[in-house]
Amino acid sequence: MSNIKNIVFDLGGVIMNLDVPKTIDAFKTLGIKNIVNDTGHHYQHSFFYDFEIGKISENEFLESLFNLSDKSPSHQEIITAWNAMILEMPKERIDFLKDLGKNYSLFLLSNTNSIHQKEYLDAFKNSYNSSFNYLFKKAYYSHEIGIRKPDEAVFNFILEDSNLMASETLFVDDAISNIEGAQKVGIKTYHVQNYDTVNILKVLY
């Protein structure tokens, strides 16, 4: 893969540590239960995905969660529970990105939402005294562009928007469904497992 010029990174599970069960447990204390399916990987309610593509507002999202509760949690309590899954971005990964950025054009593609985005962008600013988005030539967030992984449309959008060639682009993600979506449009891929992001170097040289 020595012809790789561009690397598109996922965020959660690749750059940022995530602990989704922390949010599930926090919701349970607020009386919000059964929000994921039996596998624990997919939300049972479509409003989660609507929020992820900016189809509904923060208030509509919070009200949807409030309506699932058998208690009466405040919006701030729901936000705190929703953000419980957001953990740190380890310095070694940030340093690794900075080094990669010297030789490759880096991009970000994240399925996210405005509440989570504010949480991790603020946390990064506080930890590193700089903007997280500055690590990338361009950051693509699902709720801002109205499409999400693993839809082929999101990968085609990035290629066109940033004028990239699929054959010169590597996509790095921890979800196999997203990896498969990128492969369908001809993008090279690296499947991260157990946060083993640094090993992408093995496919670059």
Catalytic residues: 10
Of the CA atoms within 13 Å of residue 57, those in its CB half-sphere come to 3
Distance from C-alpha of 126 to C-alpha of 116, rounded to nearest angstrom? 15
Find out whether 126 and 22 touch, Cβ atoms under 8 Å. Answer: no
Q: What share of the chain is helix, strand, coil (3-state, %, to 5)?
A: 50, 15, 35
Find out whether 94 and 128 touch, Cβ atoms under 8 Å. Answer: yes
Distance from C-alpha of 85 to C-alpha of 65, rounded to nearest angstrom? 16
Tokens representing residue 52 in the block: 């992820």
State the virtual CA torsion across 133, 26, 90, 168 in degrees, nearest 10. Answer: -50
